[in-house]
Amino acid sequence: MAEEPGIDRILVVTAHPDDVDFGAAGSVATWSAQGLDVAYCIVTDGDAGGFDSGIPRNEMASLRHEEQTAAAKTVGVTDLTWLGHPDGAVVASLELRRDITRVIRRFRPDRVVTQSPQRNYQRIYASHPDHLATGEAALCAVYPDARNGWAHAELLDEGYEPHVVREVWMMVGAEPNRFVDITDTIDRKIEALLCHRTQLPDPASVPDMIRGWARMNAEMGGLPADRVAEAFQALNTL
């Protein structure tokens, strides 16, 4: 899909390293190739993740930073902000709303891509509590916080002026209405996911799994049978 006029800067807000790559890396690669400026805001360091019990917990955060940085570079992103909230204990607090608002006001995106705050009873893995809380806090940061100068007034003291985000796209939203054709970038999405070595006990299974999901998204979006896609629920915030 071609981008709508006026969409030049996109901020992706997720709970953990790898969330963006499962949900949107093919779209990010597409947008980057179109010349759009994409940045990531990652709420936790991901230190509560990983399948290998032999990795010391005090090393996991730095490993996940390295993995996400490499994955981001694969799809054309070099601007990553880490908020450092506790992995596995994210809540949609005023502090998290403030922290996301700060990033929005700094980067000044036209679109924010984030996780859905709605629990999906058909796909429990999409409804990790950290994902739900991050989606809720990101939506609150978009509206009303980022555009209201009196919300988190300390941000004005830091030099961050209000900013209006035009739209929000939610990954794994309850009612998907935007489908990005990632046929030309799905290999880069898979490459990005394979950067997350600490999270993949069976990396050989990843390509087929991702291609299967992407084919289902394309079918749901009415794309031709030979195409693959990522799905989002888009909200206009103007």
pLDDT score for 120: 83
Residue 224 and residue 130: Cα distance in Å, rounded?
35
Q: pLDDT tens, 131-174?
A: 999 999 999 999 999 999 999 999 999 999 999 999 999 998 88
| Among 73, 20, 17, 43, CA closest to 197 | 17
pLDDT(216) > 90: yes
Which stretch of 56-60, 123-127, 137-141, 197-201 has the lowest confidence by average pLDDT? 123-127
Kind plus residue range of the DSSP H or E element containing 134: helix 129-142
Which amino acid, residue 204?
A
Calculate the alpha carbon distances from 46 to 70, 131, 141, 224 in Å. Answer: 15, 12, 22, 37
Q: pLDDT tens, 4-50?
A: 778 999 999 999 999 999 999 999 999 999 999 999 999 999 999 88
Residue 158 and residue 120: Cα distance in Å, rounded?
38
pLDDT score for 123: 76
pLDDT score for 170: 97
Interstrand relation of 37-44 and 79-85 (parallel, antiparallel or unpaired): parallel
DSSP 8-state code for residue 49: -
pLDDT score for 55: 82
Domains and CATH numbers, the chain: 9-236 (3.40.50.10320)
pLDDT score for 3: 67
Phi, psi of 50 (to 5 degrees): 105, 145
Residue 69 and residue 86: Cα distance in Å, rounded?
19
Joined together, the tokens standing for residue 74 give 């694969």
| Among 27, 227, 16, 41, CA closest to 126 | 16
Joined together, the tokens standing for residue 3 give 């981008």
Interstrand relation of 167-171 and 229-236 (parallel, antiparallel or unpaired): antiparallel
Average confidence score pLDDT of the chain: 95
Of the two residues 120 and 210, the one the predictor is more confident about is 210
* pTM, rounded to two decimals: 0.96
